[in-house]
Amino acid sequence: MAVRAVRGATQLDDDVRDHMLERVAEMVTEVMTANGLEVDDFISVLFTATSDLHSEFPAYAARRLGFSDVPLMCARELEIDGSMPRVVRMMAHVETDLPRADITHVYLHGAAALRRDLSRTRDVPDA
């Protein structure tokens, strides 16, 4: 079993607590589904949020999904001129048998534009 890093990002429409929890849970769930992961496969998760997001800790969404024993951390994303607003990113370290080349990184909603270079990047239409 190898340790791999898997990335994800999502963009919020507004800085509203329930919306934050919904979008982050969606991102975490999509990362799990795309890579055949269960909570026990996660070693740790780092979440970052742009400085325009204040309504909730992104990690709380993962806690609500059952990540009670997984170390989680939240941090601020760098404030770079022209960067995309209202974005939550994650980098998770997981145990998996997947080769590095087969890891699926998940970029949802407007955040799909962040990594068009990844072949498995996809855009999820807003509901």
User: Do 68 and 39 meet the contact criterion of CB atoms below 8 Å apart?
Assistant: no
Query: In this predicted structure, what is the pLDDT of residue 117?
Result: 66
Specify the pairing of strand 2-11 against strand 106-108: parallel
Q: Which domains, from first to last, does the chain contain?
A: 2-115 (3.30.1330.40)
CA nearest 3: which of 92, 65, 80? 92
Per-residue model confidence as pLDDT tens for the chain (127 residues): 899 999 999 999 999 999 999 999 999 999 999 999 999 999 999 999 999 999 999 999 999 999 999 999 999 999 999 899 999 999 999 999 999 999 999 999 988 888 766 534 444 444 4
**pTM to 2 decimals?**
0.89
CB 105 within 8 A of CB 6: yes
